[in-house]
Copies of this chain bind each other. A is one copy, B any other.
Amino acid sequence: MGRWEPNARGRLEQAALELYLERGFAPTTVTEIAKRAGLTERTFFRHFADKREVLFSGSEMLQQALVDAVAGAPGEAAPIDAVAAGLDTVGDLFRDRRPHSLRRQSVIAANPELQERELIKLARLSAATAGALRARGVPEPAASLAAEAGTAVFRIAFERWVDGPQDEDLTQLIRGSLAELKAVTAGA
């Protein structure tokens, strides 16, 4: 981003979310998003490949943070504890992002194409987590199962966070979901 366009990326995200909520995702154009943000289409395309990517641009950072935290967990940590360390980091990333997440989620809930995209991003997140576990020496299928378990815990905690009261903490919800998954798989 050039210095003549302070926070262009954030302004474009903000404008896009506003328009998607006001008019729906499908009819909104990149021209309209750029105009609402007081920027040019060219600037838009310097930051995002298309209008869909505005909603998913954070997923690579999320994935990287998760993978780094799994890799950085103590060497003796059990696979599920390495995943739990990764999920704690993810919880931290969303701190103060609830208003944004809430608006983003309602755009996605209204559009099947975006829901599919979200599923694909979650599948990639799970595959990347499994890769980070294998790099720690965890064999298959334990690596994929621990990664899938972690992804399910995150997805379900995230939904509860977005739908729930304003003051709930995502990290606490994630830890609660993981504890619940442990109880469920133990046959409780």
Which residues from chain A sit less than 8 Å from chain B, CB to CB? 78-81, 116, 119-120, 123, 141-142, 144-146, 148-149, 152-153, 155-157, 160, 177, 180-188
Contact = CB atoms under 8 A, between A and B. Distances in A.
* Stoichiometry (number of copies): 2
Nearest to A84: B187
A144 to B, nearest CB: 5
Contact of A184 (B80, B120, B160, B180): B80
A154 to B, nearest CB: 11
Given A119-B120, A119-B123, 17 more contacts: A78-B188, A79-B184, A80-B185, A141-B156, A141-B157, A141-B160, A141-B177, A145-B156, A145-B181, A145-B184, A146-B184, A148-B148, A148-B155, A149-B149, A181-B185, A182-B185, A182-B186
